Amino acid sequence: MIYNYTIKPEPSRCVGSLISRELRFSRTMVFAIEEINNSTELLPGIKLGYQIYDSCGSVPMAVDVAFQLTNGQDPVFYKGSNCSQSGVVMAAVGDAPSSPTISISRIIGPFNIPLVSYYATCACLSDKQQHPTFFRTVPSDQFQADALVKLVKHFGWTWIGAVYSDSDYGNYGMASFRDAAQKEGICLEYSEAFFWTDTHSKIQKVADIIRRSTATVVVVFTASADIRVLFEELAQDPPPPRQWIGSEAWITDPHFSKFSFFAGAIGVAIQKSVIPGLRDFLLDLSPPKVAASAVLTELWEDSFNCTLTKRADVDKKVCDGAEDIKLVKNAYTDTSQLRNSNMVYKAVYAIAHAIQNVVCEKSNLTIQCDKNFRLESKQVLSEIKLVNFSKNGYPVSFDANGDPVAFYELINWQKSKSGVTELVTIGYYDGSLPKGQEFRINRNITWVEGGTQVPVSVCSESCPPGTRKVLQKGKPICCYDCIPCPEGEISNTTGSLECLQCPGEYWPNAERDACFPKPVEFLSFGEILAIILAVFSVFGACLAIITAAVFFCHRTTPIVRANNSELSFLLLFSLTLCFLCSLTFIGAPSEWSCMLRHTAFGITFVLCISCVLGKTVVVLMAFKTKVQA
């Protein structure tokens, strides 16, 4: 369309079909407001008004809504004397997707209008510099990423694939997941972003990557509409068995139970809750009440395939008034899994409590509210930061970043005996518990293809004891080869990065996974060889001693004196010690004997040789003197 800037363009309009679940969210907000308006304990005497806008999950439409909220041009729902300041917005609830919520928050933030979201989980919204008036009753994706990583780590999966929405929700969520996974030593074989409006070739490319991958575990961080498109593509040519790990945005959607490969999927989900009276309110629809609302009319006509208008479509009959919405099963009427609906409910009550803290005072167990109080949005903003209460047993409070305490249920899609795929809670993640205790699984899990054994998803099997890891060139740290430990080294743990040297008195076993003491081998005195050696040693020592005694007795004779008696006695003494040193090599070795045997033998042997050399030198010198004479 070409604009000539002389005629005001037509306003943007939503296209496509009605999303029943989103309608249930908006009706839950109406239910909460009416419940508050009829309450005598919360804002007694004061009525809350509201206006509902459809952003269509679109950023341009969300921007248009944000400007309408700030300038107050639209009429409010109530126009009577109950409304003190018609058109002035004190707070806003929404939006569901993160991207539109970011746009709305940036526009209404400078006007100090608090925005409480029930579904926008992007971690970027916790930045108070960018979003000072943003709050949410649903946990941040920072906690969800941590919960998903702990889930993957718990089952020993180190080689996984990942797909995510090409949106703020998916991009920021996957960034948080990657950071947490890297710290836990988890590797991603692939990480592909896509959006449901992408071309078929792009969706087909992502599906082919999943089919060809070696990782059996796939983490899906997408919106429900995005993964629906991918699953429909995969259904045409089902991939090998894959264990799907889902984020809270889609894992509880019953629409996916129709895919055969979806059974066994696990993931994190918002806590299931109970809201008394909500089901009756949602189903309290009659044709006159439905005809007064365009969205309820669309719901009615889609549910019963009829039309409420007199000009009936060709393929639709005119509704006859006998239709009963209670007999219809769809996302609007299903209140068995109230998860995000409770987030809407809590958001409305958080705003109501903040308003009450400004305009009401408690005295003598009664609450008095000033109907004429000129309330400003910045006052509501100041008080909403401090709210701390429980509703239907569910706590409501915000931290410094506007986030609630993170609590997720761990859920598993299991096939019942009747063949129906059902949603089963298998554990929880509680961010309020001490570090290391947040994650709990308390029920059996049904895995992909109905298996009871945990699937294996690793790039390389863990290296057994006796080997160590060697990274494969050009691949992530989860891909490695296992090589045996070198001679004299061991590894006694699985997946060891290096081998350890055995102590000096130990050596490795054949498997090189343990060190054991070296066997002590010695010549005992009871062995024949030891006896023979001892006899010769003692005999030689005695012979040397006898010779020395003879020399001593004839020490004054010329022959002894001519033989250099000093060196002779020293030689005989050293020979005696040399013979006796042999005895130190017999018997069990000790620290002292091991040091003594080699040292003593070395000294005595050197002394013996020195004496022989000395006597030789003396003789040589005598001959030289005779020659000169």
Average pLDDT of span 176-199: 94
- Bridge-based pairing of strands 489-490 and 306-307 is unpaired
DSSP state, residue 5: S
**Is the per-residue pLDDT at 12 higher than 70?**
yes
The answer to whether 388 and 396 have CB atoms below 8 angstroms apart is yes
Q: Which residue ranges make up each domain of the chain? A: 20-138+335-391, 141-273+406-450, 467-517, 528-628
What pLDDT sits at residue 422?
Answer: 86
**Is the per-residue pLDDT at 189 higher than 90?**
yes
Say which range, 72-76, 208-212, 248-252, 363-367, has the weakest mean pLDDT. 72-76
DSSP 506-517: EEE-TTSS-EEE
Average pLDDT of span 413-434: 87
Task: Provide the pLDDT confidence category of residue 627 given band limits of 50, 70 and 90.
Answer: low
- Other residues' Cβ atoms within 10 Å of the Cβ of residue 532: 10
Q: Which CATH code is given to the segment(s) 141-273+406-450?
A: 3.40.50.2300
Say which range, 141-150, 512-521, 619-628, has the weakest mean pLDDT. 619-628
Query: pLDDT tens digits for 312-342?
Result: 455 778 888 888 898 888 889 988 888 999 9
Domain 20-138+335-391 class? alpha beta
Query: pLDDT tens digits for 559-607?
Result: 777 777 777 878 888 888 888 887 877 877 777 777 777 788 888 888 8
Average pLDDT of span 118-137: 94
Task: Provide the pLDDT confidence category of residue 75 given band limits of 50, 70 and 90.
Answer: very low
**Is the per-residue pLDDT at 151 higher than 90?**
yes
- Fold match, 20-138+335-391 / 141-273+406-450: yes
pTM: 0.77
Average pLDDT of span 177-198: 94
Average pLDDT of span 226-230: 94
Query: pLDDT tens digits for 426-461?
Result: 999 998 888 888 889 988 899 988 888 999 999 999
Rank 223-232, 248-257, 416-425 by mean pLDDT and report only the highest: 223-232
Within 436-590, where are the H helices? 528-553, 558-562, 565-581
More confident residue, 83 or 621: 621
More confident residue, 357 or 86: 357
Average pLDDT of span 128-140: 95
Task: Provide the pLDDT confidence category of residue 626 given band limits of 50, 70 and 90.
Answer: low
The answer to whether 101 and 62 have CB atoms below 8 angstroms apart is yes
Query: Among candidates 71, 121, 129, which has minimal Cα distance to 101?
Result: 121
- Other residues' Cβ atoms within 10 Å of the Cβ of residue 222: 27
The answer to whether 340 and 331 have CB atoms below 8 angstroms apart is no
What pLDDT sits at residue 2?
Answer: 62
What pLDDT sits at residue 590?
Answer: 77
Q: Assign residue 420 a region: left if phi > 0, alpha if psi is -120 to 50, beta otherwise?
A: beta
